Amino acid sequence: MRRVDKLKAGKFPVDVDLVQAFVGRQFPQYRNLAVREVASDGWDNWTFRLGDRLKVRLPTAEGYAGQAMKEFRWLPVLAPLLPVAVPMPVALGEPEADYPWHWTIYEWMTGEPVRRDNVLDLTTLALDMASFLKVLHRIDVEGGPIAGAHNFFRGDDVVGFYGAEARQAFDQLGDRIDTATALAVLDAAEAAPFAGPPCWLHGDIAVGNLLVTGGKLSGVIDFGSCGVGDPACDLVITWLFFEGESRAVFRKAVAADPGTWARARAWALWKAALVLASGAPTHPEEFSPVEVIAVVLDDHRASVD
């Protein structure tokens, strides 16, 4: 995500000088480390390098403000249990007069965002991704943050919270999509409510949050939408990035039940329809909203044949 796009969207402005001042005042042991912008970061946070081995993340808006404290509390718990690296928080910054929320210093993670041309093959990535999710979804959830407003209800009832928004997008799209089948996807998810037990979930398994080293999955970042609940939302990458054999391998390795797949299709369809209706930009390595909608609807048809 480019800095100018976030500023145009009204995100709270943060720059190098402000971060350098925060670090110097609150963490004087790091005051001599240079702060610099990263080439591209996410929507929810501003990200800056701090020296060569650290980074600083600051929420861009009130809706993301709780992520810093949540990640600071839970990533050290999850990290040693997972098969690939995840961000490790080093220090939690306090709000100041010119910035109203907590912020975090993390260890810098090596690796580069996944692309189709920097992985050994998509099938291996699919297996590694499935392995990561199966481990995450089996970690003890005691005391964990139950899905809710803090993570935009990832892990909660997709149709209950986003069904109306999805239907509105369908109406806007008109004959650009098969509305009857799209509505049937929501109906199928509603007919298969999550019965538990609740799981840890990442909440935003997307291309920009996966790192590779030497062609293999080496890290998963941005746990701001993590929580405890229904893991179906973590399966959306099935249609966003995988295709053909890799999609089939991922589905088999995840080994989710039909109800989980029905809810996962609803998550994928909601987001793709919303993006298509709004014209919002998408990640260049992910399939377009039109393509995602098409394969999700095909998947639904196959599930009821």
Q: Tell me the pLDDT tens digit for each residue of 73-119.
A: 999 999 999 999 999 999 999 999 999 999 999 999 999 999 999 99
The answer to whether the CB of 207 falls within 8 A of the CB of 283 is yes
Q: Is the pLDDT of residue 40 over 80?
A: no
Averaged pLDDT for residues 270-293: 94
Q: Where are the domains of the chain?
A: 3-107, 112-304
Q: Return the closest-CA partner of residue 237 out of 202, 212, 188, 190.
A: 202
User: Please, what is the average pLDDT of the chain?
Assistant: 95
Q: What percent of the chain has pLDDT over 70?
A: 97
pLDDT at 125 over 60: yes
Residue 39 carries which DSSP code?
A: S
The closest alpha carbon to 149, from 78, 224, 83, 86, belongs to 224
Q: What percentage of the chain reaches a pLDDT higher than 90?
A: 91
* pTM of structure: 0.94
Distance of alpha carbon 197 from alpha carbon 139, whole angstroms: 12
pLDDT over threshold 70, residue 302: yes
Q: Per the CATH hierarchy, to which homologous superfamily does domain 3-107 belong?
A: Phosphorylase Kinase; domain 1 (3.30.200.20)
**Mean predicted confidence (pLDDT) in 140-156:** 97
Which amino acid does the sequence have at 290?
V
Domain 112-304 has CATH 3.30.450.40: no
Q: What is the pLDDT of residue 1?
A: 46
Q: Inform me whether the pLDDT recorded for 37 exceeds 50.
A: yes
Average pLDDT on 286-296 reads 97
pLDDT interval class at 5 (50, 70, 90): low
**Phi-psi region for residue 224, left (φ > 0), alpha (ψ -120 to 50) or beta?**
alpha
11 or 16, greater pLDDT: 16
Separation of alpha carbons 137 and 153, rounded Å? 17
Residue 10 has pLDDT above 80, yes or no: no
List, for residues 180-213, the tens digit of each pLDDT value. 999 999 999 999 999 999 999 999 999 999 999 9
Tell me 275's DSSP state.
Answer: H
pLDDT tens readout for residues 13-28: 899 999 999 999 999 9
Q: Which residues pair with 47 in a beta bridge?
A: 57
